Every structure is written in C-alpha cells, then in structure tokens.
Amino acid sequence: MATGTSTKTDPWQLKTPPLSSEYQMYYGDKDGQPVIVCVVGSTTLYYQRRAVEDLHAMLKSHGGWYGLKKGLRGRFGMYMPPLLEALDLAEVEHNARGNRMRAK
C-alpha cells in the first residue's frame, strides 16, 4: 500500500488504517538523533527510529491482534501501523473504525 523509498526526497506515501487520510514518512535526523519523520498536512511529527522495532516486538509478545480503546490511540497509533505494514512487519485492518493490527 505504500510507495516511496524512505528518504526525504522520496518519502513513503501512506494512508491511515481506514484509508481516509494521506501522509508521508521518511528516515531523518533531528537534533543529531535518528528519527522517523511523519508529515501530515502542515504538521510534522518525530518518532524515535527504534519505535518500529519496539512496536513490532510488543506485537509479537502480545500475540494476536492489538487495538486500543476508542479515543486513546492518538497519533502514534494512527500513523505507525501503516508504516509497519509497508515494512511487512504487521498486518493491519482497513475498516472505517476500530482497526487492529498484528505482527507478521
């Protein structure tokens, strides 16, 4: 579902799990630290690069599907699952609401 090669000049083109909004992600640096940059409209979010490995490990240890209560997922829960799906680390549902994901 994603296109791009993870660089600033060719970022991943992703969609939120319900496929309702588009955004970009790429590997970058902020204050000398390696980060994952998420660009949503005019908003830029920064995540530690290890977030991908930490989330994947958590999904594997949890076993089965993972989904938080409505209203508690926040931006991390909205934008990271499609990235894990693009990296072939997780399976993500694409329903209008209540999407879950599990580790591959």
Number of C-beta neighbours around residue 15 at 10 A: 14
For position 72, what pLDDT does the model report? 45
Task: Name the stretches of the chain with pLDDT < 70.
Answer: 1, 64-74
DSSP codes joined into one string, 52-103: HHHHHHHHHHH-S-B-PPTT--HHHHHHHHHHHHHTTSEEE---SS---EEE
Contact call for residues 73 and 83 (beta carbons, < 8 A): no
For position 89, what pLDDT does the model report? 94
Read off the pTM: 0.82
